[in-house]
Amino acid sequence: MQMKQIVKYFAVGASAVMALSSATAMAADMTGAGATFPYPIYAKWAESYKAATGNGLNYQSVGSGAGIKQIKAKTVDFGASDMPLKIEDLDSEGLMQFPAIMGGVVTVVNLDGITPGQLKMTGQVVADIYLGKITKWNAPEIAALNSGAKLPDTEITVVHRSDGSGTSFLFTDWLSKVHPEFKAKIGANSAVKWVVGVGGKGNEGVAANVQRIKGAIGYVEWAYAKKNKMSHTQLKNKDGQFLQPDDDNFKAAAASAEWTKTPGFGVVLTDQAGKNSWPVTGVSFILMHKTQADAAKGKEVLKFFDWAFKNGGASAAELDYVPLPASVVKLVQDAWKANLKDASGKALY
């Protein structure tokens, strides 16, 4: 499947509420830009919210890095990032940050004779692949994890993100925690200097490249893999368990999140302890300016996410995302009341 087809798959129709270009937005629509990780659920929420309220959302799925740039430049009503900003960065830009949804990142492969969920991988092996140290699919390190599997004598093509990406942050943060050499040579960030491989823009681009190239491996948000019937792998977690990705395992990783102890809600959920914890679980965050020049738009953004928190849980579960617990939603709403104001200093929520 080519990138255009994947984008089309997640769109909500020819007159989609959620569009990839701001040129299609109606003047009254809210505008947001950033992470591709939550794009499928934001698209679904936007479709339902439009039907319920008549109000639209134009969200540009352009990657976390671009979303951060756009909210700083005040060209959108909100930005979205899967890499939390540090509290000092938020304060310097006059921004507040809150979680919107949680989910998992998975590794996906394109190998003949390998079914979805069959292949077992560890963080150490994945890191060595992305370091260019393991180059064949029948390498001893992979074969040792997959007794009985017919692994081809095929070159591995590494696929990674080419844009600033919260999905890349989650993936590289996990690998940096489990592989010292990866941490030293590549490190954890939304944009890193990859030593091998080909790039794709957005989760859509990585998915398209993996589907196009035989012998490829990449990393995408679980909804992209699931909806496009890609061959994901099992991953070994911190407790030594090989797991399949699903919302229960994402929930297990999220259970240890210490929201109240983390400034700006900046929780990172990779490599969490627990036998059922998916190792590459993450939070997607929304960024808004504390002082809203357009109070009506700011209020509408809050109404949208408030509606999503109350009504979007079933849609999130269908796409294997993890909705925020009620206790965390209350913390977010309290943060809205305390931080988001109009130009006169009146609270928006």
Asked if the model's pLDDT at residue 18 lies above 60, the reply is no
CA 32 to mean position of chain CA atoms: 15
Rounded Cα gap, residues 61 and 41, in angstroms:
12
Q: How confident is the model at residue 5 (pLDDT cuts 50, 70, 90)?
A: very low
The single-letter DSSP state of residue 80 is E
When pLDDT is cut at 50, 70 and 90, the band that residue 28 belongs to is low
Domains located in the chain, CATH noted: 3-103+280-342 (3.40.190.10), 105-257 (3.40.190.10)
Residue 9 confidence (pLDDT) above 60: no
Number of CB atoms found within 10 A of residue 276's CB: 17
Reported as type and span, the H/E element at residue 31 is strand 30-34
Residues in the chain: 349
Report the 10 Å Cβ neighbour count for 193.
Answer: 8
Q: What is the pLDDT of residues 84-136, one digit of tens each?
A: 999 999 999 999 999 999 999 999 999 998 999 999 999 999 999 999 999 99
pLDDT band at 227 (very low <50, low <70, confident <90, very high): confident
pLDDT, mean of residues 193-207: 95
Mean pLDDT over the full length of the chain: 92
Tell me the one-letter amino acid at 19: A
| pLDDT given for residue 23 in this prediction | 39
Give the predicted TM-score (pTM) of the model.
Answer: 0.88
From the list 261, 256, 281, the residue with the least C-alpha distance to 271 is 281
- Residue 134 gets which letter from DSSP? -
pLDDT of amino acid 4 = 43
Q: What is the mean pLDDT of residues 41-48?
A: 97
Token pair for residue 316?
């999130």
Q: Which two tokens stand for residue 206?
A: 């990585």
Interval 276-321: pLDDT, tens:
999 999 999 999 999 999 999 999 999 999 999 999 999 999 998 9
Cβ neighbours of residue 104 closer than 8 Å, sequence gap 6 or more: 221, 222, 245, 249, 250, 253, 278, 280, 281, 282, 320
Query: For the chain, how long is the longest CA-to-CA vector?
Result: 68
Of all residues in the chain, the percent with pLDDT exceeding 70 is 92
**Mean pLDDT across the stretch 61-80?**
97
Banded model confidence at residue 256, pLDDT cuts 50, 70, 90: confident
Q: What is residue 311's predicted lDDT score, i.e. its pLDDT? A: 97
Q: Which residue has 């590494």 as its token pair?
A: 158
Give me the phi and psi of 17, to 5 degrees please: -65, -40
